[in-house]
Amino acid sequence: MARIADLLSAGKTYSFEFFPPKSDAEQATLTRTLHELEPLQPSFVSVTYRGGAASRGRTFDLVTAMLHVTRLQPMAHLTCVGHTRLELAEILVDYRKAGIENLMALGGDPPQAPGDEPGELRHALELVELARAVGGFSIGVAAHPAGHPASPDMEADRDRLAEKLAHADFAVTQFFFDAELYASLLDDLARRAMTKPVLPGIMPVTSLSSIPRMAQMGSPVPEWAQARLRAAASRGGSEAVRAEGIAMATELCRALLDLGAPGLHFYTLNRSTATREIYRALGLAPTLSAAG
C-alpha cells in the first residue's frame, strides 16, 4: 500500500472522496462509480466517517474492500465524535492490522441526536497524536480556506491549522470556489513557518438547488459564481447550469495547479461523471469517455 505522504513527495496527486453506502441502492451507485473512476488511476481515494458504531463498520468495510479487491489506495476518515479514547485506539489498531496506512483525522461535527456523546477527544490534534502513538499512519487533517465556521477569527483558525499540520503529514481543504482563498491560506501558513502539502478540495456546482446546501456545509458559492450559473440557466436551463459548473470547476483546477498546488482532491458525492469530465478537460485522462 502507498503512503500518501510518499505520493506527495513524489509529485502531484489526484484523489477522489466517497461516503459509505447506507442502502442497496447506494451500494449499487457506488459500485458503478468505483468501476468508472478506477481507470483514471487516482493517486488515492478517501472514505468519509460520520461517527458511531454503524458508520464505523461501513467505513472499515469499504476501506478494507478497496485495499484488497481493487487497485485503489484508500484513506480512512476517523472523527473524535461519539468515541472514547480507548475506542478510537481500537479502531486505529484494527486499521493497521487490516493493512490501512492512510488516515484523515477529524474533530467531527457536534452530535445532533439526543443522547449522542461528543466524545472523549474534542479536537483533531488529539486524534493525530493518538494515531502517532499507535504508529504506522500517514496522517491528513482538514483545512478551511475561508476559515472553520467554529473559529473565532481567521488568525485563530490558521494557528490551529498550523498546529495540526506540525503533527500531521498533509492537509485537504474543504471545497471552495476562489483560487485566491487557497493562495491566502498558503501565505498564512508560510508566515507560521508551515509548508507541508495542502491539497485543494474541488466540488463543482451542478445545479442551482445545490447552492443553499453548499452554504450550509460552510462553503457558500460566491455571488460572481451564482451570477454565472443563473445566466447559464436563463440561456439553456439545467443542462447549461451543469455545464457552466463543470467549466468553473475546471478553471479553478487550472488556477490552483498554476499556483503550485500539490494536486487536486475531488468530492464526488459517489458519482463519477462530473469528475471524469473535469479530468478530460484538464487533459489528465484524454482517452477516457465521460459517458455514464
Query: Residue 164: which of 132, 136, 191, 205 has the closest Cα?
Result: 132
DSSP E strand boundaries for 186-292: 198-202, 263-267
Q: What's the rounded Cα separation, in Å, for the pair 12 and 156?
A: 29
For residue 244, give every residue at least 6 positions away whose Cβ sits within 8 Å of its Cβ, in sequence order, or none: 228, 229, 231, 232
Q: Classify strands 102-106 and 44-47 as parallel, antiparallel or unpaired.
A: unpaired
* Residue 166 and residue 153 in contact, taking contact as beta carbons nearer than 8 Å: no
Q: Which residues pair with 18 in a beta bridge?
A: 47
| Burial status of residue 161 (CB atoms within 10 A of its CB: 0-12, 13-18, 19 or more) | buried
Q: What's the rounded Cα separation, in Å, for the pair 170 and 217?
A: 22
What are residue 290's phi and psi, to 5 degrees? -100, 10
* Residue 190 and residue 165 in contact, taking contact as beta carbons nearer than 8 Å: no
User: Known catalytic residue: 101?
Assistant: no
Catalytic pick from 17, 36, 101, 277?
17
Query: Residue 195: which of 184, 205, 187, 207 has the closest Cα?
Result: 187
> 3-class DSSP state for residue 117?
coil
Residue found under cell 465556521: 149
Q: What would the grid cell of residue 271 be?
A: 458519482
Which of the residues are catalytic? 17
